[in-house]
Structure 1
Amino acid sequence: MLTVFETVLVANRGEIAVRVIRTLRRMGIRSVAVHSDADIGALHTRLADVAVPIGPAPAAQSYLSIDRVLDAARRTGAQAVHPGYGFLSENVDFARACAAAGIVFIGPPVDAIEAMGDKIRAKQTVAAAGVPVVPGRTEPGMDDDAVALAAIEVGFPVLLKPSAGGGGKGMRVVRGPDELTEQIAGARREARGSFGDDTLLVERYLGNSRHIEVQVFGDAHGTVVHLGERECSLQRRHQKVIEEAPSPLLTTGMRARMGGAAVEAARAVGYTGAGTVEFIVDADSPDDFFFLEMNTRLQVEHPVTECVTGLDLVELQVRVAAGERLPIAQSDVVLDGHAIEARVYAEDPVRGFLPQAGDVVGLLEPAGPGIRVDSSLRVGGVVGTDYDPMLAKVIAWGPDRETARARLVTALGGTAVLGVATNTTFLRDLLNDPDVVAGRLDTGLIERRGEALTRADPPPPHVYAAAALALLLESEPARAADPWDDTSGWRLGEPAWTVRWLQATGGQPVTVRVRGRAAAAEVQVADGPPMAARVRRDDDVLAVTLDDVTTHVTAVHAAGTVWIAVDGHVAALREHERLAPPDAAAGTDGTVTAPMPGTVTVVRVSLGDEVAAGTPLLVVEAMKMEHVLTAPVTGTVTELPVTAGHQVRLDERVAVVTPPAPGEEE
């Protein structure tokens, strides 16, 4: 038996760093965390045995700095580096630098990273091994004109894909020739920013398709196996949202065919360690599948494979990197039950899934049979805009798919990040969609559902009531002992109503009347009937009783906002001093504001330019996603206070388009 490493550095952050560190601890291996200035005090730095600062917040100066990561490894005596996913995980220069420094890269050989990291070369390699590939043009070095010509030859719609990287970054669907110039420029810009390489390839876009990937594992002794497949068809902007194992589509025979093709693709490049071979399946012809790409790293969704196989993929990675043989053969792989994973993002589905930021003032993470949470969240932590917006993953296992789905829905109802808007309600609604329940999945489902999954339903009345009672309980200790000095509504006879105006994000203010004290109160929401109410602290939560029905509520009052989680509802309710009529001119005066905190990357207009409504004005990037801001009205650009590189705050004014005065219109 070979000896595994004594010290391993984790060259990543967030939930994947936490997840890797926990396995290292279980294996008795000393762990080293690295962190940027933005991640001082982050959970992964607290769990590791050693934490090393490696630079400022921008990833290029910290997590993507090969020199700084390797310097941290040398200083801490790390014998190996685990790259997680993203950042340097598929960077061939980093793998080479590790080898030159005598540090083991816990990943595949350099040749395999090169062959599969370049999507053009990858398609050529697997096609030579007999694996079917998506029709398209993959010549290296195509300039914009060549990419445009390739798109026309392949036939619309087409998919532009960066040759480097993954995770949906830089991928653009082009549905007609009039979109080519804009989409090629955007794809190159995003690919260059994410991967440092703006090479593009063109593929036929299969809209009604399913995305299925196969987990493969190889060792340095010639063994390559697959560990079954994962269904990843529920996507938004080419980014996976929900993943599950096994796929509800595949038959036993199709699973064997696809698994065999994945193993051949891995063998074609001498693959070792954990890897994923991704396929696309035409939903109208499910017996046909095509190779998309191979990810030469651990995937975000690897927990669902671990749940159904009983294997710890990180432990296997470490042992294979240390030279050990895989402890399993293909015949040993048995899939037990079903697992589904949901990705929790700091984003607001109601506002077009724009990234969100803020301080974590309260946190609920679920537990129970079959529930697993991979998270980097902690109360007091900060969610910024420097990195990917994924905060956590909630995974549910069950003996069958429906049990796993139902458990995950319940678990998401018990998931709340107070202080930062997240997509948990969207995830629950998606999991309850009839087609998702039935396993009728495809990559266009979320786009088709659109507004049905992102509607801004106001919180139910009992959420407003619970928030008002939380404020009541909070204010009671500060009340004056002398009733004549009490300004809360006390009077002889019976207490007066205390009136509050609470407003949920995107909603209208709601009148909430409360009288009495927390132990025995009366509450009325809007014009609803008065309810007998009481509230008490129960450990870290509040026990709120309304008309003899008790629910447990998590509520945090911070900076004039009551963040509240109750019965699966998470709401930010802010107090209003008065009910004010909406501004009739709002949104039509030509003012353009930043929809989220981020960085201005492109400014396309100048002061004095005449623009039509809908004209792109500038591009704001946050958490690796680009957002084009357009002119709300036709007119003249009269204010433009930002330039490329400018850091903007949420709702900061970035431009003003002044419409022509009455009578000046042409």
Structure 2
Amino acid sequence: MLSSVLIAGRGEIAMRILRTAADLGLTTIAVHTDEDADAAHVTAADAAIRIDSYLEGEQIVAAAISTGAEAIHPGYGFLSERADFARSCARAGLVFIGPDAAAIETMGDKISARAAVAARGVATVPGLAAPGLDDAALIAGAADVGFPLLVKPAAGGGGKGMHRVAEPSELPAALATARREAAGAFGDDTLFLERWITSPRHIEVQILADAHGHVIHLGERECSLQRRHQKVIEEAPSPSLTPAQRERFGQAAVAAARAVAYRGAGTVEFIVDATAPEQPFFLEMNTRLQVEHAVTEAVTGYDLVAEQIRIADGQPLSIRQDEVRASGHAIEARVYAEDPDAGFLPTGGTVRDLALPEGVRVDHALAVGMRVSSTYDPMLAKVIAHAPSREQALKSLDRALAATHVLGVVTNTAFLRTLLALDEVVAGTVDTGLIERRLDELARPAVTAATLAVAALVRWDHVARSRCDDLWHAPTGWRLGGQAPFVVRFDGADGADDPCAAPRTVELTGTPAAARARIDGEEISLALHPGAVTVDGHRMPLVRHGTDRAVWIGLPGEDRELILHSPRRSAGVRDAAPTLESPMPGTVTAVLVAEGDEVAAGDPVLVVEAMKMEHTLHAPSPGTVRLRVAIGDRVGRGQELAQVITDRTALDDAAPDEHAPDETVPDEHALDEPRRPAHEH
């Protein structure tokens, strides 16, 4: 058996691999950038070494050699599907825990992968796929494929660079966008076309193959619940397949693995029409561990990381196909740092407080105080529920998500709970377009009066604790002539409502331990306890954090960030100049206009990318463009990127003045002053 392994990844997958490697008695070595120097995977490993980037293969190989590692586990993402990295490991005498470079190369290019599996009799989606097709060739051949169709990059995965095209006039723009996204994400802008499957289901099969010619499958996973071609919920087994269909999928996956003499753990992905599940079409093969491998582990009882390590060590498979059994049902939800109400744009922030559920498996690398940036994929954690039946697993997962709180970062946990409750999900009749069709129903409701009251109570307690030695601010409820209310004002409602709306005001009387709140004419009784709050007699768990600028609260199934209202300075000419603000922290990847250009309302102006997701900003009105950024600039969420000025006489006035304060932002010095206890109504 190998004695030491370097994990060439970060986050929850690095933690996952570390657990199994330690259980097998291996010495574990982590790599980290400066940003990750204090990350959980660094602390958990036996040793750690600094690198400049997780994408620098030669640095990682050198790190393995210098630390005495015998093997490298690539995790997923980063270099896990880079053939040149596998070759570098082999040249250095290191064991690469994955398939050989030739298999990675063939399956990493979707065009060559289609050809390889077709030669083994595995059906592929009809389309136009050949090396080196330029835009003209793709446009010319699109009619034979038929519309609607799907533009896909030959390299990479995760839905990046994929675009549905409904009619011929949309194809040139879709090809240009797809090439730019593919080049940026994968370093390869080769594209091909596939027929659009009308009611697609995404089903994948886990395979294991050793170096002795044995290939088995461990059953399938249903992965049809997706947004922007990114998986959100996965489960095993699929609720839609009959035993005969399940066997057909398994045999097709084994044939695909044999097509490239595969070795290791891998996943063969299929797409099927929901009305004809007996005809699976090969989609792609992921030559690595999948994010959703945990549901297969739950129902089969096998540790896939342990199997990977044993195969890489040259050992034959310890499992025969006839020994594989599925027990019960497992469902996984991906918790992302993203805002479903803003088109699933990535978010960021600092983890202010953290609560994770018990009784289920949670794969994560979260910690209070960690900074969630746009540098990496937005997935924060995976919550996996396993139960004897699918119905029980769904209920268990819903309870677990209600108890999952990552305060300080906008996440999709409330969205996940609403999604799991849809009739189609409960019945198991899902397809990849379900989320898009039901998106309006999946939106998070506006903040309630009760939630605002709880947030105000948390604010009151925060002020009281920070000024506990100040008699005049102690929340005793006593005042000569009757108690004056403690008044808290919130701006809008945590981004879900119009940020320009009038502030919401909560008046509190009593004490934090026994209070009454008045908001919009409604009276609510509240009581704050350690780790809980009572609202109108109903006690519930509460996770909370407060600063002088905001309050974060986590109630069952609901995380909210509420910004305390602060008066702002009056603005000048910029009130007449609509601004384009970055919807997410990221990088400016394209500037589509020049300084001083005239644009019409709706014209594209800039493209911002974060976590390999592009967002195009459009002109809010006709006018003259004043740019504030250039290609390659790193930008923050809410940062002004450009202005569209409608009044030509205001153009010179809007020019940056390095000596003048920016009157569109709050007075930072005023915000830094201690806030009085809100009696100044």
Q: When the two structures are superposed, what TM-score results if normalisation uses the length of structure 2?
A: 0.91
Q: In percent, how many aligned pairs have the same letter?
A: 54
Structure 2: how far apart are the matches of 1:131 and 1:477? 67
Verify the 8 A CA contact 1:15 1:376 in the aligned structure 2.
Answer: yes
Which stretch has the larger CA shift, 549-558 or 383-392?
549-558
Q: CA deviation at 1:182?
A: 1.9
Corresponding residue for residue 356 of structure 1: 347
Verify the 8 A CA contact 1:80 1:104 in the aligned structure 2.
Answer: yes
1:553 aligns with 2:557: no
Verify the 8 A CA contact 1:160 1:173 in the aligned structure 2.
Answer: yes
| Alignment match of 1:65 (pick from 29, 37, 56) | 56
1:624 aligns with 2:624: no
Corresponding residue for residue 33 of structure 1: 30
Corresponding residue for residue 382 of structure 2: 393
| Alignment match of 1:510 (pick from 504, 507, 529) | 504
SS in 1 for 2:289: coil
| Alignment match of 1:575 (pick from 557, 560, 564) | 564
Corresponding residue for residue 403 of structure 1: 392
Verify the 8 A CA contact 1:347 1:421 in the aligned structure 2.
Answer: yes
| Alignment match of 2:367 (pick from 378, 381, 405) | 378
Q: Which string of whole-angstrom CA distances, capped at 9 and with x for unpartnered residues, describes residues 173-213 of structure 1?
A: 12222222221122112111221111112111113110100
Verify the 8 A CA contact 1:32 1:50 in the aligned structure 2.
Answer: yes
Structure 2: how far apart are the matches of 1:265 and 1:593? 47
SS in 2 for 1:529: strand
Structure 1: how far apart are the matches of 2:76 and 2:647? 51
Matched to 1:145, the amino acid is A
Q: Which string of whole-angstrom CA distances, capped at 9 and with x for unpartnered residues, describes residues 305-353 of structure 1?
A: 0010001000000011001111111100001111111111111111111
Q: Where does 1:230-379 land on structure 2 (aligned, <5 Å)?
A: 230-368=221-359, 371-379=360-368
Verify the 8 A CA contact 2:477 2:511 in the aligned structure 1.
Answer: no
Structure 2: how far apart are the matches of 1:481 and 1:224? 70
Structure 2: how far apart are the matches of 1:587 and 1:600? 25
Q: CA deviation at 1:83?
A: 0.5
Structure 1: how far apart are the matches of 2:182 and 2:371? 27
Q: CA deviation at 1:558?
A: 2.9
Residues 479 and 660 from structure 1, CA distance in 2 versus in 1: closer, same or farther, beyond 3 angstroms?
closer
Which stretch has the larger CA shift, 81-90 or 488-497?
488-497
Corresponding residue for residue 160 of structure 2: 169
Residues 651 and 488 from structure 1, CA distance in 2 versus in 1: closer, same or farther, beyond 3 angstroms?
farther
Verify the 8 A CA contact 1:588 1:632 in the aligned structure 2.
Answer: no
Structure 2: how far apart are the matches of 1:436 and 1:387? 30
1:607 aligns with 2:600: no
Corresponding residue for residue 645 of structure 2: 658
Corresponding residue for residue 479 of structure 2: 491
Q: Which string of whole-angstrom CA distances, capped at 9 and with x for unpartnered residues, describes residues 560-604 of structure 1?
A: 1111001211101122247x9x99x99995321111111101101
1:435 aligns with 2:424: yes
Q: CA deviation at 1:151?
A: 2.4
1:203 aligns with 2:194: yes
Q: CA deviation at 1:132?
A: 0.6
Verify the 8 A CA contact 1:501 1:511 in the aligned structure 2.
Answer: yes
Corresponding residue for residue 212 of structure 1: 203
Structure 1: how far apart are the matches of 2:147 and 2:349? 41
Q: CA deviation at 1:112?
A: 1.3
Name structure 2 gaps, 5 residues minimum. Answer: 650-681
Q: CA deviation at 1:408?
A: 0.7
Corresponding residue for residue 448 of structure 2: 460
Structure 1: how far apart are the matches of 2:169 and 2:41? 46
Residues 574 and 524 from structure 1, CA distance in 2 versus in 1: closer, same or farther, beyond 3 angstroms?
same
Structure 2: how far apart are the matches of 1:464 and 1:423? 20
Verify the 8 A CA contact 1:340 1:404 in the aligned structure 2.
Answer: yes
1:596 aligns with 2:555: no
Corresponding residue for residue 646 of structure 1: 633
| Alignment match of 2:519 (pick from 517, 525, 547) | 525
SS in 1 for 2:151: strand
SS in 1 for 2:522: coil
Structure 2: how far apart are the matches of 1:484 and 1:437? 55
Corresponding residue for residue 469 of structure 1: 457
Q: Where does 1:5-24 land on structure 2 (aligned, <5 Å)?
A: 5-24=2-21
Residues 217 and 510 from structure 1, CA distance in 2 versus in 1: closer, same or farther, beyond 3 angstroms?
same
Matched to 1:264, the amino acid is A
Matched to 1:534, the amino acid is A
Q: CA deviation at 1:49?
A: 1.0
Residues 286 and 234 from structure 1, CA distance in 2 versus in 1: closer, same or farther, beyond 3 angstroms?
same
Q: CA deviation at 1:641?
A: 1.4
SS in 2 for 1:440: coil
Structure 1: how far apart are the matches of 2:20 and 2:548? 38
SS in 2 for 1:207: coil
| Alignment match of 1:535 (pick from 528, 532, 535) | 528
Structure 1: how far apart are the matches of 2:465 and 2:640? 41
Matched to 2:176, the amino acid is A
| Alignment match of 2:435 (pick from 414, 424, 446) | 446
Q: Which string of whole-angstrom CA distances, capped at 9 and with x for unpartnered residues, describes residues 625-662 of structure 1?
A: 1111111112222x111110011111111111223689
Q: CA deviation at 1:91?
A: 0.5
Residues 575 and 255 from structure 1, CA distance in 2 versus in 1: closer, same or farther, beyond 3 angstroms?
same
Verify the 8 A CA contact 1:207 1:443 in the aligned structure 2.
Answer: no
Verify the 8 A CA contact 1:466 1:553 in the aligned structure 2.
Answer: no
Verify the 8 A CA contact 2:460 2:486 in the aligned structure 1.
Answer: no
RMSD: 2.2
Verify the 8 A CA contact 1:588 1:633 in the aligned structure 2.
Answer: no
Which stretch has the larger CA shift, 204-213 or 298-307?
204-213
SS in 2 for 1:198: coil
Corresponding residue for residue 108 of structure 1: 99
Corresponding residue for residue 59 of structure 1: none
Q: Which string of whole-angstrom CA distances, capped at 9 and with x for unpartnered residues, describes residues 522-542 of structure 1?
A: 3233311242x33232xxx2x
Count of residues in correspondence between the two structures? 642
Q: Which string of whole-angstrom CA distances, capped at 9 and with x for unpartnered residues, describes residues 330-382 of structure 1?
A: 100001111111111111111111111111111111111xx110111110111
Structure 1: how far apart are the matches of 2:541 and 2:226? 33
Verify the 8 A CA contact 2:476 2:510 in the aligned structure 1.
Answer: no
Verify the 8 A CA contact 2:516 2:523 in the aligned structure 1.
Answer: no
Matched to 1:527, the amino acid is G
Structure 2: how far apart are the matches of 1:588 and 1:405? 51
Q: CA deviation at 1:161?
A: 1.4
Corresponding residue for residue 58 of structure 1: none
Matched to 1:127, the amino acid is A
Name structure 1 gaps, 5 residues minimum. Answer: 56-61
Verify the 8 A CA contact 2:98 2:263 in the aligned structure 1.
Answer: yes
Structure 1: how far apart are the matches of 2:435 and 2:473? 57
Residues 139 and 477 from structure 1, CA distance in 2 versus in 1: closer, same or farther, beyond 3 angstroms?
closer
SS in 1 for 2:437: helix
Residues 336 and 482 from structure 1, CA distance in 2 versus in 1: closer, same or farther, beyond 3 angstroms?
closer
Residues 182 and 491 from structure 1, CA distance in 2 versus in 1: closer, same or farther, beyond 3 angstroms?
same
Verify the 8 A CA contact 2:475 2:512 in the aligned structure 1.
Answer: no
Corresponding residue for residue 139 of structure 1: 130
Q: CA deviation at 1:493?
A: 4.9
Verify the 8 A CA contact 2:348 2:409 in the aligned structure 1.
Answer: yes
Verify the 8 A CA contact 1:488 1:498 in the aligned structure 2.
Answer: no
